Amino acid sequence: MNTTNTPALGIIEGFFGRTWSWLERQAYAKFLALNKFNFYIYAPKSDAFLRKHWQQDWPSEIKQDLIKLREIYGAAEIDFGIGLSPHEIYIDSSRVSHHDNRLYLAERVKQINDLSPDVLCLLFDDMRGDIPNLANLQIDYMHQVAELSTAKRIIFCPTYYSFDPVLEKVFGNMPEHYWQDLNKNLDKKIDIFWTGENVCSAEYSVDHLTQVEELLGGKPFLWDNYPVNDGAVKSKLLHLRAVNQSHSQIQTHVAGHALNPMNQPWLSQLAIASLPRAYRERDNYNPEKAFVEIATELCGEPLAEILLHDIPLLQDKGLEKITEEEKAELLKRYSAFPQNAFCTEIIDWLNGGYVFDPACLTE
């Protein structure tokens, strides 16, 4: 699957709001394989058994769906991952609580091992962080998980995963020496997620990634919040354009690269399919050309031309700024393609089918 010197590329289903169906998740195995991706990580914010109720195993019906999903990805030769987010496990770090939490965590990892994931992520994002000695508390849990997991790759997501000041604004002041403690004490075999200079970074500079590598003691594993659109502002937009030019210059500066898709699984493919091209083509990568080729391949030429024409309305103006007349025209245009999954999602979005989830605090 992977070409020489190319870091692992994939997606992490890690957004808030309206979730994907099991059939849509299954369909992504073929899409990712065709586009030479390496992994898929299941971590939807809507799965309470990965977050608020992390101590509990999935009900048998959901677990069976996950086992089937894992089998489909295995058959497609795409690594299958799980993202566990033990919500604020470290808030009460008293000896009794810590002991109990370690027991709960050990049991949960064993349950996740039933799925034989290739990748296991321990995610401490989107939770309070102004706790003394936070890094070492998280590292202790992280090392426990790494020891018990059967996954071949372990990834840690810190609470402060960017230089973006919004993280301290929402989750509290970052403890002193947080990143330095991660560098000093986290097992170097464990990858660290990083979103860039911002929570939603438009681009990635080599200078920034080099700085982060020095700070964390290893190349960051990018959690790229594009084309995701679950925030208050971004839920009004459809991110369809190919990833920008900067993505073609970072190949040797990251441990891996995971795109976080939109709530719209089919439309997300337009942007997602451009990432391996950027890594592969490097200096020859052209985002505009990539979009036209990908849209034509996925949607057919007539619809690709319409999408190219409408990107300024769908991605730049969005639901709050397009006029009623423009909205009516868009509905008319895409209704001309009945049973087309891409058009169905655009129509649904235009009609308010993807409402913002206020649980998403960072934008």
The answer for residues whose C-beta is within 8 angstroms of residue 68's C-beta and 6 or more apart is 22, 26
CA 103, 109, 15 angle in degrees (round to 5)? 120
Read off the pTM. Answer: 0.96
The secondary structure of residue 317, as a DSSP letter, is I
Could you tell me if 127 and 87 are in contact, meaning their C-beta atoms sit under 8 angstroms apart? Answer: yes
| Per-residue pLDDT tens digits for 166-208 | 999 999 999 999 999 999 999 999 999 999 999 999 999 999 9
In whole angstroms, give the CA distance from residue 284 to residue 249: 11
Question: Pick the residue with more confidence: 322 or 95?
Answer: 322
pLDDT of residue 96: 58
pLDDT bin (cut points 50, 70, 90) of residue 338 is very high
Cβ atoms of 130 and 173 within 8 Å: the answer is: yes
Give the pLDDT confidence score for residue 231 in this predicted structure: 83
Q: What is the reported pLDDT for 94?
A: 67
- Mean predicted confidence (pLDDT) in 293-303: 97
In this structure, are residues 267 and 294 in contact, taking their beta carbons and an 8 Å threshold? no
Q: Where are the alpha helices (DSSP H) in the chain?
A: 22-34, 60-75, 95-113, 134-148, 166-171, 178-185, 206-216, 265-272, 274-281, 287-299, 301-311, 318-321, 324-335, 341-350
Distance CA 162, CA 195 (A): 6
- Domain range list for the chain: 8-292
The residues, any chain, with a CB within 8 Å of residue 128's CB and separated by 6 or more, are 88, 91, 159, 171, 172
What's the mean pLDDT when you consider all of the chain?
95
Least confident of 1-5, 44-48, 67-71, 139-143: 1-5
pLDDT of residue 77: 98
Tokens of 59: 């009900």
Q: What is d(CA 332, CA 310) in angstroms, rounded to the nearest whole number?
A: 13
Q: Quick one: pLDDT at residue 98?
A: 73
Q: What is the pLDDT of residue 311?
A: 98
SS (H, E, C) 34-68: HCCCCEEEECCCCCHHHCCCCCCCCCHHHHHHHHH
Confidence of residue 4 (pLDDT cuts 50, 70, 90): very low
Residue owning tokens 């939807």: 44
Cα–Cα nearest to 115, from 73, 85, 86, 146: 73
Average pLDDT over residues 74-103: 88
How large is the average pLDDT for residues 60-88?
97
- Res. 229: pLDDT tops 60: yes
The fold of the 8-292 domain, in CATH, is: TIM Barrel (3.20.20)
Q: Is the pLDDT reported for residue 226 higher than 50?
A: yes
- Calculate mean pLDDT across residues 136-165: 97
